Amino acid sequence: MSASSAREPSRPFGIHDYQIEYLPVDAPREVNIRARSAAPLRVGDRYTIDRPDGLCDLIVEEIYRLAGGRWNARCRVSDLWL
């Protein structure tokens, strides 16, 4: 992989079927993001997700590819503003 392609961000979060799970729900330290038809996230990507009670800064740590084009991204919460 070239240095220029490593810097290009992935382009998720269009109109897709994302499911976001906070673990634990009340004060998450980990977030799982799943989808069936969306392009997968990439390890090292960073995102800020707006929850009903605040914001989470996330870092994608692992991607699990599943059958049928589905995937699951395990993300670490690097910051949480409630």
pLDDT in tens, 9-63: 566 666 667 888 988 877 778 999 998 878 889 999 999 988 877 888 999 999 9
**Strand-strand pairing, 19-23 and 54-65:** unpaired
Q: Are 20 and 30 in contact (CB under 8 A)?
A: no
pLDDT confidence of residue 37: 79
Mean pLDDT lowest for which of 3-7, 56-60, 72-76? 3-7
pLDDT confidence of residue 65: 93
pLDDT confidence of residue 1: 46
- Computed over every residue of the chain, the mean pLDDT equals 82
Tell me the domain boundaries of the chain: 15-81
**What span, in angstroms and rounded, lies between the C-alpha atoms of 73 and 82?**
23
Q: Which CATH number is correct for 15-81, 1.25.40, 2.60.40, 2.40.10, 2.40.128?
A: 2.40.10
Three-class secondary structure of residue 68 per DSSP: helix
Q: Is 35 exposed, middle or buried (0-12, 13-18, 19+ CB in 10 A)?
A: buried
Nearest to 16 by CA among 42, 40, 35: 35
